[in-house]
Each structure stands twice: as structure tokens, then as C-alpha cells.
């Protein structure tokens, strides 16, 4: 039903969507596998994906730098966590960063799954890709 609501009424020739460059898609996929596998198996390893300039906003609270970001992640009170990616989209920006938006579900301990969205902005330093911006929100609404 959702597809019906938002899909185009008329298929127009000039409105052909573009294919994503395969390298961007592969880089995004590889990063997401690395990040969420680390998160779900051993959160203490996440610090190495961030740099001193990196910012995390988690449920509206902002932390800068690998130490504070890692401390925030390891302070989350659940023991077990599984991230399940439903969709992700990626753009190479004109500044050469890789922007990734994830929509997914999160299962912690014995709690029911929660819908979340997480946006990453990745930048290359030396041989590595680092998370410069990480914005996490549960998909919750008033009323």
C-alpha cells in the first residue's frame, strides 16, 4: 500500500532513475557490515572508526571525538544487540564524502524490535574511511 501511495502516477521517459556507481554501493555495504558487526559483537572496537573531529548525535545528544563517542556506545545498558538493515542509500557528495542513510530495526536483549534510522558521513584520511558524522534516532512519534 505504501508503494501505491508514493509511486509515480505516470511513468515518464525523462524521469528514468540513475544507476548508482557500483563502487559507492560496495563501499557503503562494506562499511555497514564492518560497523554493525563490530557494534553487535564487541562495541569496544568502534572507537577506531572515528577521528577527533567526529561527531555522534545519539537520540538528540551530541558527543565529539572517539573517546566520548565510544564511551556513549559502551554505556548503552543492553547486553545483547542486533541491528537489522531494512534499506540503505548512499551518495558520494561533492566534497568527496560518502553519505549513507540506514533504515532498520534494532533488537536489544528481550525487548521488542525498534525501528531506527542512522545517517553516516564518511571521509577518507590516509588509507582509511572514518565516520565524521553519525546521527542515530529511533523512529518514534508523538501520539
Q: Which of 30, 44, 64, 124 binds its own copies (CB under 8 A)?
A: 64
In angstroms, give the least distance from the CB of 80 to its own copies. 12
What's the rounded Cα separation, in Å, for the pair 46 and 79?
A: 16
In angstroms, give the least distance from the CB of 85 to its own copies. 10
What's the rounded Cα separation, in Å, for the pair 18 and 28?
A: 17
**CB atoms inside a 10 Å sphere around CB 52:** 9
Distances (CA, A) of 24 to 31, 49, 86: 11, 18, 18
Question: On the CB side of 92, how many CA atoms lie within 13 Å of its CA?
Answer: 12
**41 versus 140: smaller Cβ distance to its own copies:** 140
In angstroms, give the least distance from the CB of 45 to its own copies. 19
Q: Tell me the backbone φ, ψ of residue 130, rounded to 5 degrees.
A: -115, 150
Residues 74-133 that bind its own copies (CB under 8 A): 75-78, 84, 86-87, 89, 91, 93-95, 97, 99, 101, 103-105, 108, 111, 114-115, 117, 119, 121, 123, 132-133
Asked if residue 60 binds its own copies (CB under 8 A), the reply is yes
Number of residues lying near its own copies (CB under 8 A): 62
What's the rounded Cα separation, in Å, for the pair 57 and 55?
A: 7
* Contact set with its own copies (CB under 8 A): 1-2, 5-10, 12, 14-15, 17-20, 53, 55, 57, 59-64, 68, 71-72, 75-78, 84, 86-87, 89, 91, 93-95, 97, 99, 101, 103-105, 108, 111, 114-115, 117, 119, 121, 123, 132-133, 135, 137-142
Amino acid at each position: 500500500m505504501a508503494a501505491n501511495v508514493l509511486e509515480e502516477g505516470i511513468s515518464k521517459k525523462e524521469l528514468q532513475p540513475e544507476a548508482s556507481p557500483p563502487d559507492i554501493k560496495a563501499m557503503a555495504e562494506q562499511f555497514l557490515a564492518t560497523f554493525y558487526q563490530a557494534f553487535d559483537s564487541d562495541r569496544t572496537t568502534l572507537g577506531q572508526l572515528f577521528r577527533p573531529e567526529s561527531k555522534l548525535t545519539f537520540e538528540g545528544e551530541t558527543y565529539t571525538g572517539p573517546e566520548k563517542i565510544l564511551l556513549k556506545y559502551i554505556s548503552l545498558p543492553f547486553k545483547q544487540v542486533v541491528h537489522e538493515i531494512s534499506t540503505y542509500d548512499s551518495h558520494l557528495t561533492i566534497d568527496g564524502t560518502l553519505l549513507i542513510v540506514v533504515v532498520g530495526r534494532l533488537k536489544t536483549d528481550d525487548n521488542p524490535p525498534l525501528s531506527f534510522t542512522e545517517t553516516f558521513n564518511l571521509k577518507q584520511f590516509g588509507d582509511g574511511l572514518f565516520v565524521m558524522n553519525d546521527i542515530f534516532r529511533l523512529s518514534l512519534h508523538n501520539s
